[in-house]
Amino acid sequence: MAEERLILTSDEMRRALTRIAHEIVESNKGLEGLMLVGVRRRGVPLARRIADAIASFENASVPVGALDINLYRDDLTSRPQPLVRPTEMPVGIEGKAVVLVDDVLFTGRTVRSALDALMDLGRPRIVQLAVLVDRGHHEFPIRADFVGKNVPTSLDEIVEVRVTEIDGTEEVALVERVKAAPA
Amino acid sequence: MMAHATEQSTVAAQTETPPRRRHVLDLDDFSRNEITALLDSAEAMHELLSRSIKKAPSLRGKVVLTLFLEPSTRTRVSFEQAGKMLSADVINISGSGSSAEKGESLLNTALTLQAMHADLIVIRSPHSGAPYFLARNLQRMGVVNAGDGRHAHPTQALLDLMTMRHHVGGLEGKRVVIVGDVLHSRVARSDVFGLHALGASVVLCGPPTLIPLDLLHKGEGDSLPDVSVEHDLDRAIEDADAVIALRIQQERQGAGMLPSMREYTRRWQVTEARYRRAKPGALLMHPGPMNEGVEIASSLAHGPGSQIEEQVTNGVAVRMALLYQLLTGGQEEAAE
């Protein structure tokens, strides 16, 4: 069994997302043209959490989209094939202030793919990035505008963000990578 | 546990990924899970298809050949479009104008193309089994069957399944009628295997001379309990969830297998009156090209229950999903 350490409890996760929600509204000076786009899979429920938080203190709703980046990956021939899911945008992204939402910022490759995927849908006015956990080891000149928690990690660790809709619990854990798992 | 955070994707296998295959020859070796995963992915491709910028870079640098030794509009164009939307380079070869005309054998043509480092060949051939022959003899190039003789047409069946699943949800226990010249129809054969895998029951209908009884069996002693035969279309269509009308191949009429066209039309045309016997809102499908007024009434072909144009759109989406499935993904075994 893998070693596991809790980084964020469900309450801490909720507070971090609420703070990010406030920062997004503050930095964009309101909700005008604002749109949240979650990166599938776990970015989508997180984007909804942030939109709910904004709705609770601003009394207005922000559109939430879901972006699948698998067709835009740079490692499509070097790893087992990811399942492609639909991209869903409730409104066009043209001219919008788009906040990409993902669970973990690691190498930055997902974000790079997400930017490509986004550009194929239109030309947003500005794109910002919100992540629940920034774990370091970036491999691209990409940083997050809104961060829930910075977590120093080693490459042997995995940051697991768990959300109720997919995992049945709400928490973030640091897990030791299991080496040479038998088939 | 499933590996999740996409950002940490260098980690591990996704358990939901279907097994990797190199060739698609028919649907008889597809499991329900594999078909379902492919149709799910086709739904995502359908979304891409409806964008104003219909292009994603996932097959950049891959070369897809289409070798069509029989006439075709929708299948060939749809493979070409599918490949191009995913950024593969697609090269079309037809029988006439290629070295096949000088008498080069199919195998030598294919080996030549493989030597040019093409990744995949999509083949349509008048000869049943031709794609199997190529798959056995090509070491580096994948083979997709785009219709071989009267044997199989797996991508047409997949688009039929996608269309039905989209409208009626799961196909488990649904009643699908396939009417017409089943004997000469590669579409019907592949449809039967696909529908069987997804748990639908199939009724084959048409003149007795045009119903192959071997279709009730998948292989030696392996019978398909959910496939039945009913020669009377009025009875067959009763409570159907979907009706697939097949093209009457007029060139077969001379061979004594068909009654006169008039008799065929009278007994086996899908008409307004017959369509009303099916479930309300039942789907009407046709693989095309249609003989309107022969196997299907014109008013129905363009009526509200008709899925015929949607079938064409879904054909592109399904072929995108298939190309993506065949041409991406690293070898899991390679690491061991």
Domain with A24 in it: what CATH number? 3.40.50.2020
User: Residue A162 falls within a domain, yes or no?
Assistant: no
Closest Cα of chain B to A166: distance in Å? Answer: 10
pLDDT on residue B15: 41
A with B: how many residue pairs have Cβ under 8 Å apart? 112
pLDDT digits (tens, 9 = 90+) for B165-192: 999 989 999 999 999 999 999 999 999 9
Number of domains into which chain A is organized: 1
pLDDT on residue B221: 64
- How far is it, in rounded angstroms, from Cα A178 to Cα A1? 8
* Residues 96-115 in A contacting B (C-alpha not used; CB under 8 Å): 102-107, 109-111
A91 in Cβ contact with A121 (< 8 Å): no
User: Residue A65 falls within a domain, yes or no?
Assistant: yes
Which among B8, B43, B47 is the nearest to A159, CB-wise? B8
Closest Cα of chain B to A29: distance in Å? Answer: 30
Q: Collect all residues of chain A within an 8 Å Cβ-Cβ radius of residue B334.
A: none
The rounded mean pLDDT for chain A is 93
Which among A81, A161, A181 is the nearest to B329, CB-wise? A81
User: Residue A23 falls within a domain, yes or no?
Assistant: yes
Q: Which residues contact B335 (CB under 8 A, 6 or more apart)?
A: none
- How far is it, in rounded angstroms, from Cα B336 to Cα B332? 8
pLDDT digits (tens, 9 = 90+) for B28-60: 999 999 999 999 999 999 999 999 889 999 999
pLDDT on residue A83: 85
Which among B11, B43, B332 is the nearest to A158, CB-wise? B11
Has residue B334 got a pLDDT over 80? no
Question: Which amino acid makes up residue B39?
Answer: L
A36 in Cβ contact with A51 (< 8 Å): yes
CB contact under 8 A, B328 and A69: no
Provide mean pLDDT across the span A106-132. Answer: 95
Strand order of the sheet with strand A146-150? A64-67, A34-39, A97-105, A126-134, A146-150
User: Residue A46 falls within a domain, yes or no?
Assistant: yes
End-to-end Cα, chain A, rounded Å: 16
- How far is it, in rounded angstroms, from Cα A164 to Cα A152? 25
- Residue A97: what are its φ and ψ, rounded to 5°? -95, 100
- Per-residue exposure over B231-261, b if at least 16 CB sit within 10 Å of its own CB, e if not: eebeebbbebbbbbbbbbbeeeeeeeebeee
Distances (CA, A) of A170 to A9, A138, A148, A160: 7, 26, 14, 11
CB contact under 8 A, A84 and B332: no
Strand order of the sheet with strand B175-179? B227-229, B201-205, B175-179, B242-245, B283-285
Higher model confidence: residue B228 or residue B334? B228
pLDDT digits (tens, 9 = 90+) for A30-43: 999 999 999 999 99
The rounded mean pLDDT for chain B is 88
Higher model confidence: residue B9 or residue B327? B327
- Per-residue exposure over B298-308, b if at least 16 CB sit within 10 Å of its own CB, e if not: eebbeeebbbb
Closest Cα of chain B to A33: distance in Å? Answer: 21
pLDDT on residue B94: 85
Closest CA to B295 of B254, B331, B248: B248
Closest CA to B231 of B253, B260, B184, B264: B264
pLDDT digits (tens, 9 = 90+) for B80-94: 999 999 999 999 998
Query: Does B34 contact A at CB distance below 8 Å?
Result: no
Query: Does B96 contact A at CB distance below 8 Å?
Result: no
Closest Cα of chain A to B309: distance in Å? Answer: 21
Q: Collect all residues of chain B within an 8 Å Cβ-Cβ radius of residue A71.
A: 48, 56-58, 86, 324
- The model's confidence at residue B2, banded by pLDDT at 50, 70 and 90, is very low
B291 in Cβ contact with B319 (< 8 Å): no
- The model's confidence at residue A179, banded by pLDDT at 50, 70 and 90, is low
Query: Does B49 contact A at CB distance below 8 Å?
Result: no
Q: Is the peptide bond before B140 cis (omega within 30 degrees of 0)?
A: no
pLDDT digits (tens, 9 = 90+) for B91-149: 999 877 777 777 788 999 999 999 999 999 999 999 999 999 999 999 999 999 999 99
pLDDT on residue B101: 73
pLDDT on residue B59: 95
* B134: helix, strand or coil: helix
Higher model confidence: residue B16 or residue B74? B74
pLDDT digits (tens, 9 = 90+) for B284-320: 999 988 999 999 999 999 999 999 999 999 999 999 9
Cα pseudo-dihedral B167, B169, B170, B172, rounded to 10: -60
Query: Does B33 contact A at CB distance below 8 Å?
Result: no
Long-range contacts of B247-252 (CB under 8 A, 24+ apart): B247/B180, B247/B181, B247/B185, B247/B286, B247/B287, B247/B288, B247/B289, B247/B290, B247/B291, B247/B295, B248/B180, B248/B181, B248/B291, B248/B294, B248/B295, B249/B181, B249/B184, B250/B291, B252/B181, B252/B184
Closest Cα of chain B to A59: distance in Å? Answer: 32
Tokens standing for residue A19? 């703070």
Q: Return the HEC string of B34-103.
A: HHHHHHHHHHHHHHHHCCCCCCCCCCCCCEEEEEECCCCCHHHHHHHHHHHHCCCEEEEEECCCCHHHHC
User: Residue A109 falls within a domain, yes or no?
Assistant: yes
User: Residue A34 falls within a domain, yes or no?
Assistant: yes
User: Residue A5 falls within a domain, yes or no?
Assistant: no
B180 in Cβ contact with B191 (< 8 Å): no
CB contact under 8 A, B47 and A103: no
Closest CA to B152 of B187, B113, B196, B101: B187
- Cα B265 vs. chain centroid, distance in angstroms? 26
- The model's confidence at residue A80, banded by pLDDT at 50, 70 and 90, is confident
Chain B residue closest in CA terms to A156? B11
Candidates A40, A78, A79, A109: best to mutate against B (most CBs of B within 10 A) is: A79
Chain B residue closest in CA terms to A158? B8
Name the percent of chain B lying above pLDDT 70.
90
pLDDT on residue B257: 79
Which among B55, B86, B328 is the nearest to A81, CB-wise? B328
- Residue B164: what are its φ and ψ, rounded to 5°? -65, -45
User: Residue A91 falls within a domain, yes or no?
Assistant: yes
**What kind and span of H or E run contains A12?**
helix A10-27
- The model's confidence at residue B330, banded by pLDDT at 50, 70 and 90, is low
Closest CA to B79 of B64, B93, B69, B94: B64
Q: Counting Cβ atoms within 10 Å, is residue A61 exposed (0-12), middle (13-18) or buried (19+)?
A: exposed
End-to-end Cα, chain B, rounded Å: 20
- How far is it, in rounded angstroms, from Cα B23 to Cα B132? 9
Q: Collect all residues of chain A within an 8 Å Cβ-Cβ radius of residue B324.
A: 71, 81, 84
Domain extent at residue A113: 10-74+84-154
Q: Collect all residues of chain B within an 8 Å Cβ-Cβ radius of residue A39.
A: 6
CB contact under 8 A, A83 and B40: yes
Candidates B6, B22, B326, B333: best to mutate against A (most CBs of A within 10 A) is: B6
Which among B4, B7, B56 is the nearest to A107, CB-wise? B7
One-character DSSP codes across B286-332: --S---BTTTB-HHHHTSTTB-HHHHHHHHHHHHHHHHHHHH----S
Q: Collect all residues of chain B within an 8 Å Cβ-Cβ radius of residue A104.
A: 5, 7-8
What domains can be seen in chain B, in order of their start residue?
Answer: 6-151+314-330 (3.40.50.1370), 154-307 (3.40.50.1370)
pLDDT on residue B333: 39
Q: Collect all residues of chain A within an 8 Å Cβ-Cβ radius of residue B14.
A: 80, 82-83
Candidates A76, A101, A164: best to mutate against B (most CBs of B within 10 A) is: A76
- How far is it, in rounded angstroms, from Cα B201 to Cα A173? 47
